Structure 1
Amino acid sequence: MLLAILVGLNLRPSMAVIGPLAHRIQQDISASFSQIALLTSLPVLAMGLGCFITLRLTRYWDMSKMVAMSLLLIALADALRLQVSTNHGLLLTALTAGVGIACIQVLLPILIKQQHRHQAPLVMGWYVAAIMAGAAVSAATASWLTTQLGHWQASLAFWGLLALFAWGVWQKRWAALSQTGCTQSHPTEDQKSIEDHNSRAIPKPSRPLTKQARPWLLALFFGLGTSGYTCVLAWLPPYFVSLGFSEAQAGFTLGYLTAVEVIAGLALPTLASYRLDRRRIMLPTLIAGALGFVLLAYTPLSFTWISLTLLGIGIGGIFPLSLIVCMDHHADPKTAGAITGLAQGIGYMMAATAPWLAGIIRDQLDQWTYSWIALAILYGVMMLIALRFNPQHYARHITPPPQAA
């Protein structure tokens, strides 16, 4: 679990530090809002494409070694930012980091399910909370680090040190775990019933996942939820700067929101781990997120902290819950990992367009309101999709009935 947390901390700083420093970066490299958006969109696109490549590479390479290589790739991308001075250079480092992040995001859920079969939702909650914590700390400290280190390039490159440290710990501790075998926690009665249900009801898929409808629906669900996350990550600080906040204050708003995401990312998967039907947790989470976007659009100054809290609950809760629902669809870790990888691959490519489109809207209309309302509508669509995630029907959606085969 501690390894999952340490690795998770490295999966967002490369993107999260851009928003609080967007105006400073714009001044130095003369970039528009839509161009700055690419610094978030391109890594997310790389994360999506990288999911498909990673699934193929697992046939030939050891998964733990691939995680180690990915951490080094993130460290390298961050380090290169120390000397970058052009928009193209920043985009290259963003793409490089995105590839490393993609690989880890495919492999960690598989390794977590192997190591903690009965407590996978709980460990996934800690892992996802760590991802959000990395974003919170890096966003909140971006302006301060820039002041302390002298320029924004050093502030961006600083986070490569954390990735390098995680690589060293992973190399040492994963080898020890591999020698002692998997950590199998003891299941509760509810968890036994969940696992028994999955084992009985869900056979191995009889045809490729890409030819089945449910993985595509899971991908759509994940992509819509992640679109909200990527837009907030890219544009929340510039939005509050446009309302009169300082860079440090705007970075703190993203840091606060992400801190709420961490709490939601821990609490909601824990609650969901005791229920086979995750919809009872997912629907209130989506409602909170939709309300948060509406308040952010129309009353950002009057209800700043209420809107940020609701957004933190919605975004922070739905990200791990969507991954857990993907993993729920099959009892075999590798098959569940393939479903999750496919959903992430397609979903991240969808989400990559969201900050870019929001940036274009900002350039053309000179306001953010339409983007926040569009995201609130997307969360409403997610509520309709979530209603279809009945665990009693997972078998029929992943492997077709004999007469339909």
Structure 2
Amino acid sequence: MENVRATPTTAIWLMISVVLVALNLRPSMAAVGPLLSSIRGDVPLSFSGAALLTMLPVMAMGLAMFFGIGLGKRFGEHRSIVLSLGVIGLATLSRLFLDSALELIVSAIAAGVGIAMIQALMPALIKTRFGDNVSLFMGLYVTAIMGGAALAASFAPFVQVQTGSWRVGLAIWAALALLALVFWYAQRAAMPPLPQAGSGAQESFFGNRRAWLLAIFFGLGTASYTCVLAWLAPYYVEQGLSEQNAGLLLGFLTAMEVVSGLVTPAIANRRKDKRRVVAVLLVLIILGLCGLILMPQHLHLLWPCLLGLGIGGLFPMSLILSLDHLDNPRRAGGLTAFVQGIGYLIASLSPLIAGMIRDQLGSFEWAWWSLTAVAVVMLLIVTRFNPTHYARHIQ
């Protein structure tokens, strides 16, 4: 299938629209952690219950991945993303009016479904319309996702202080969805339907061992991201920081993710074999987690910095590794949808497990040790991703 070319001006506006859409894919989750103490003061929630606010959207993201591609083929990418942004915006805005934990959890699930639909469609769109620089544009897209998390984590506590309401701190991010909706809708003329790879059914990767290995790798890496997103701020509140300072620390971590998300794919784009780049990222994560456990009160900017640099680069690199396995954009999009679907289901368990550990043991330290062990396992897995064997593993 041929890539769809666009004029430079059209490409620039399309990429701006992609970035604005991507900014909406994390605030519904990232705003929760820094405000958790206030939420729990108003709504009865254990740490395990609070974990559902991150776990269930991620689980919904995983499940929705499997029908996101089909919806895109039926209604078109442009219309499907418009619908998804509407779902995210309404789910976020509804938090102004929530009075119970159940209502909060339902809003989180609805936002997760909208997020998943966009994430299922966007990799194939980028590979098709920016085929000569997939790593660079995937890096920009994923960096914008993490940028949305940084905005929400940093400013949600500030909004709460200014308005006196944690509900406003959670709901204000609906404005981002409206902004993205305006820009994305304006791109409808530049978004002709993707050419079809064939008239048959969507290819299934469930029987492919390499697809499962890629999915497990993505899931374990995303488990670190979701667990840190959910619990880093509450962990530092327990270490004595205020909610606002803990939120700023999480914002700093996600800002480092943004830096790494931009720089790492640009470095990796120069080389066919990306294993060393990924290994360095995993070592940074291990060092950051060990610092959180052993010296949380000392060098407390260094550990989030190392974690952010590692996690921020690992997220786009996990998707790029999947995209590199196939040249056909629609098949590659199907593979990344499978990888994300299974991966998000795996990752969704990490906030709940960490919350249960906190409830049972009274500390998050064992959760951080568990993530350290996961990163070591990932170092072993990454040795398997030799690009000279990609064609043999994905027929």
| 1:247 is the counterpart of 2:243 | yes
TM-score, normalising length: structure 1:
0.91
2:148 aligns with 134
1:38 aligns with 52
| 1:392 is the counterpart of 2:392 | no
Cα distance per residue 1:209-266 (max 9 Å; x no partner): 1111001000000000000000010000000000000000100110000000000000
Cα distance per residue 1:284-322 (max 9 Å; x no partner): 111111111111111111131111111011110100000
C-alpha distance in structure 1 between counterparts of 2:120 and 2:282, whole Å: 24
The within-5 A match list for 1:155-174 is 155-172=169-186, 174=187
| 1:332 is the counterpart of 2:328 | yes
Residue 31 of structure 2 contacts residue 153 of structure 2 at CA under 8 Å; is this kept in 1? yes
- Which residue identity does 2:105 align to in structure 1? L
Cα shift at 1:179: 6.5
The within-5 A match list for 1:292-371 is 292-371=288-367
C-alpha distance in structure 1 between counterparts of 2:234 and 2:204, whole Å: 43
Residue 56 of structure 2 contacts residue 109 of structure 2 at CA under 8 Å; is this kept in 1? yes
C-alpha distance in structure 1 between counterparts of 2:386 and 2:375, whole Å: 19
- State which of 206, 210, 217 in structure 2 corresponds to 1:210: 206
Cα shift at 1:19: 0.1
1:185 aligns with none
Cα shift at 1:207: 7.5
- State which of 145, 153, 160 in structure 1 corresponds to 2:159: 145
1:3 aligns with 17
- Which residue identity does 1:236 align to in structure 2? L
- Which residue identity does 1:116 align to in structure 2? F
- State which of 247, 259, 262 in structure 1 corresponds to 2:258: 262
**Matched position secondary structure for 1:275:** coil
Cα distance per residue 1:76-134 (max 9 Å; x no partner): 00111110010000001000000000011111111111110011110111111111111
C-alpha distance in structure 2 between counterparts of 1:214 and 1:180, whole Å: 30
C-alpha distance in structure 2 between counterparts of 1:30 and 1:302, whole Å: 33
- State which of 368, 373, 376 in structure 1 corresponds to 2:369: 373
Cα shift at 1:57: 2.0
C-alpha distance in structure 2 between counterparts of 1:379 and 1:77, whole Å: 33
- Which residue identity does 2:101 align to in structure 1? N
C-alpha distance in structure 2 between counterparts of 1:96 and 1:296, whole Å: 33
- State which of 43, 51, 60 in structure 2 corresponds to 1:29: 43
Residue 203 of structure 2 contacts residue 331 of structure 2 at CA under 8 Å; is this kept in 1? no
The within-5 A match list for 1:88-127 is 88-127=102-141
Q: Compared with structure 1, are the counterparts of its residues 207 and 161 closer, same or farther at alpha carbon in structure 2 (3 Å cutoff)?
A: closer
Q: Compared with structure 1, are the counterparts of its residues 179 and 54 closer, same or farther at alpha carbon in structure 2 (3 Å cutoff)?
A: closer
| C-alpha RMSD of matched pairs (Å) | 1.8
1:19 aligns with 33
- Which residue identity does 2:134 align to in structure 1? A
Cα shift at 1:181: 10
| Paired residue total | 377
1:197 aligns with none
Unaligned runs of 5+ in 2: 1-14, 196-201
- Which residue identity does 1:98 align to in structure 2? G
2:63 aligns with 49
Cα shift at 1:180: 12
| 1:177 is the counterpart of 2:190 | yes
Cα shift at 1:64: 1.4
C-alpha distance in structure 2 between counterparts of 1:56 and 1:69, whole Å: 14
1:189 aligns with none
**Matched position secondary structure for 1:235:** helix
C-alpha distance in structure 2 between counterparts of 1:181 and 1:88, whole Å: 39
TM-score, normalising length: structure 2:
0.93
C-alpha distance in structure 1 between counterparts of 2:37 and 2:188, whole Å: 44
1:203 aligns with none
